[in-house]
Amino acid sequence: MKKIIFIFLLFTLILSVAACGKKTGNENTNINTNTTSLIDVATGVADVKIKEKADRDLAIAQARDIYRMKKGLGEDLSVGPCLSNDLIPDWVADIAHNPRQDVDNESANQCEAYRSGQAHHFVELDTEGNLIRAE
């Protein structure tokens, strides 16, 4: 009886190993992606990525709010001025033309905090308040 149970368990083990070896390419990719995600979570990389995206999204929203406020106050934004040197920590907001014009490269129209290195990220809106880029 012990031999039958042993053979049955051995046979079951062989079948499960064979079944695991028949994974499709997609399943292997999912395993690799999940492994990477787990590594990112374990090392804190995932938290950094989440915070960077949250900061970017918040900066864009803040820039749009400031744009609407300044536009509502009747400020001339056609020359592409800096909207804010301290949008959120390490971010500025700037107006530029799309496509870019010479006036956009004038230092008077650029955010001093970004040019001096105090801020490392910017939101750039066009003269109509549409997002050009956020980096």
- How does pLDDT run across 46-94, given as a tens digit for each residue? 889 999 999 999 999 999 999 999 999 999 998 889 999 999 999 999 9
Lowest mean pLDDT among 6-10, 69-73, 83-87, 118-122: 6-10
Q: Does 36 have pLDDT greater than 80?
A: no
The pTM assigned to this predicted structure is 0.69
In this structure, is the dihedral angle defined by the CA atoms of residues 70, 71, 76 and 79, taken in order, positive or negative?
positive
Q: Are strands 121-125 and 131-134 parallel, antiparallel or unpaired?
A: antiparallel
> In one letter, which amino acid is 78?
S
Q: Rounded CA gap, 60 and 66, in Å? A: 10
Q: For the chain, which residues make up each domain, given as ranges?
A: 46-134
